[in-house]
């Protein structure tokens, strides 16, 4: 067994042996196993009992993982003979310079911690950033990943969530209100139009019963009256499909009831000399 302790190379005055490398590997593997065990205990025990939401679960998991890996890295450095205190003291000036150069990255890291603790953005939230709508699929320390309906991944620096304007469709409650506008001819009975639109909304499986859908006359346009349907849904991710279904249904009912959807038109009078 002497070969385990035979020097392979040196780091300063510390000899690195095969046994040292084995210890390093055990530390890294042990850290990975410990992270998995702790996360499983939290997920199947603490989180279920306290009914912690998915966003908070993700935050705790991330912090546990980062903390354990930091401790593992420190243990590895100590094992190979690198004094952490001397390393920090000797690198103070370098760290200041690097810190200035990485100020934006540091801001993103701090913003990531704020997001994880504050909960303004959670995994699974539907957000709108500069007219792009997507679902938050990952919140990291430096950046977060948002996936759009088109399957495009958007990587957003966490500082943007803190300093920018973000529309979170699903943060305060699970249901979100949307609206669509429907034009109808002035010859149509407004009460009948309202009843048809309201019935189409109530029959759609994705439109929630409470709060109830509401129809109002939004405007008097040149070619006809404009009605607005206000409705709530818990499926904000598929809102475009829901709106399309409602328009199909309303168009079909308008056709059955001889209600015309107006279009811009002009009446031209020709005066004979």
What helix, strand, coil percent values describe the chain, rounded to 5? Answer: 50, 20, 30
pTM above 0.75, yes or no: no
Confidence tier at 70 by pLDDT (50, 70, 90): confident
Strands of the sheet with 126-129, listed across from one edge: 153-157, 143-148, 132-139, 126-129, 167-168
Token pair recorded at residue 29: 């593997």
Distance CA 83, CA 156 (A): 37
Q: Give the range among 117-126, 185-194, 225-234 with minimum mean pLDDT.
A: 117-126
Percent of the chain with pLDDT over 70: 79
Over residues 127-185, the pLDDT tens digits come to 888 888 898 888 877 888 999 888 889 999 888 888 888 888 876 667 889 999 999 99
Sorted by where each begins, the domain ranges of the chain are 2-90, 121-168, 176-256
Task: With cut-offs at 50, 70 and 90, classify the pLDDT of residue 52.
Answer: low
- CATH number at 121-168: 2.30.30.60
- pLDDT: which is higher, 272 or 34: 34
E strand or H helix at 212: none
Domains 121-168 and 176-256 share a fold: no
Confidence check: pLDDT of 91 > 60: no
- Collapse the DSSP code of 227 into the 3-class scheme (helix H, G, I; strand E, B; otherwise coil) and give the result: strand
Q: What is the band of 228 on the pLDDT scale with cuts at 50, 70, 90?
A: very high
Joined together, the tokens standing for residue 126 give 């539907």
3-state secondary structure of 193: helix
**Confidence class for position 63, pLDDT limits 50, 70, 90:** confident
Picking from 129, 169, 171, the residue whose alpha carbon sits closest to that of residue 153 is 129
Q: Mean pLDDT: which of 51-55, 107-111, 180-184, 220-224 is highest?
A: 180-184
Q: How far apart are CA 190 and CA 143, in angstroms?
A: 51
The β-bridge relationship of strands 225-233 and 214-220 is antiparallel
Rounded CA-CA distance 264/22 in Å is 80
Give every CB contact of residue 18 below 8 A, 6+ residues apart in sequence: 3, 4, 5, 6, 8
Confidence of residue 233 (pLDDT cuts 50, 70, 90): very high
Helix/strand number for the chain, H first, E second: 9, 10
In whole angstroms, what is the distance from residue 71 CA to residue 28 CA?
Answer: 10
Average pLDDT, the chain: 81
Looking at residue 213, the DSSP 8-state letter turns out to be P
**Chain segment 20-36, per-residue pLDDT in tens:** 788 888 888 988 898 88
Residue 174 is given by DSSP the state S
The answer, yes or no, to whether residue 12 has pLDDT greater than 70, is no
Q: Does domain 176-256 have CATH number 3.30.1330.40?
A: no
């Amino acid at each position: 067994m002497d070969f385990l302790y035979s020097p392979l190379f040196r780091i300063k005055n510390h000899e690195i042996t095969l046994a040292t490398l084995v210890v390093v590997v055990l530390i890294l593997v042990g850290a990975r196993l410990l992270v998995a065990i702790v996360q499983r205990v939290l997920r199947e025990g603490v989180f279920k009992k306290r009914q912690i939401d998915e966003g908070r679960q993700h935050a705790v998991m991330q912090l546990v993982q980062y903390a354990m890996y930091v401790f593992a890295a420190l243990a590895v450095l100590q094992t190979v003979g690198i004094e952490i205190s001397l390393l920090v003291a000797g690198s103070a000036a370098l760290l200041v310079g690097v810190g200035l150069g990485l100020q934006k990255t540091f801001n993103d890291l701090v913003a990531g911690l704020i997001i994880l603790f504050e909960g303004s953005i959670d995994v699974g939230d539907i957000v709108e950033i500069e007219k792009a709508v997507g679902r938050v699929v990952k919140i990291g320390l430096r950046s977060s990943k948002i996936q759009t309906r088109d399957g495009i991944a958007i990587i957003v620096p966490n500082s943007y969530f803190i300093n920018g304007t973000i529309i979170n469709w699903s943060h305060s409650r699970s249901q979100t209100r949307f609206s669509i506008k429907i034009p109808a001819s002035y010859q149509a009975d407004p009460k009948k139009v309202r009843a048809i639109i309201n019935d189409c909304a109530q029959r759609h499986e994705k439109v929630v019963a409470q709060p109830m859908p509401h129809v109002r006359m939004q405007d008097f346009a040149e070619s006809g009256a404009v009605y607005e349907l206000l409705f709530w849904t818990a499926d904000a991710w598929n809102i475009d499909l829901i709106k399309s279904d409602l328009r199909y249904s309303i168009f079909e009912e308008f056709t059955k009831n001889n209600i015309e959807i107006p279009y811009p038109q002009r009446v031209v009078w020709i005066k004979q000399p």
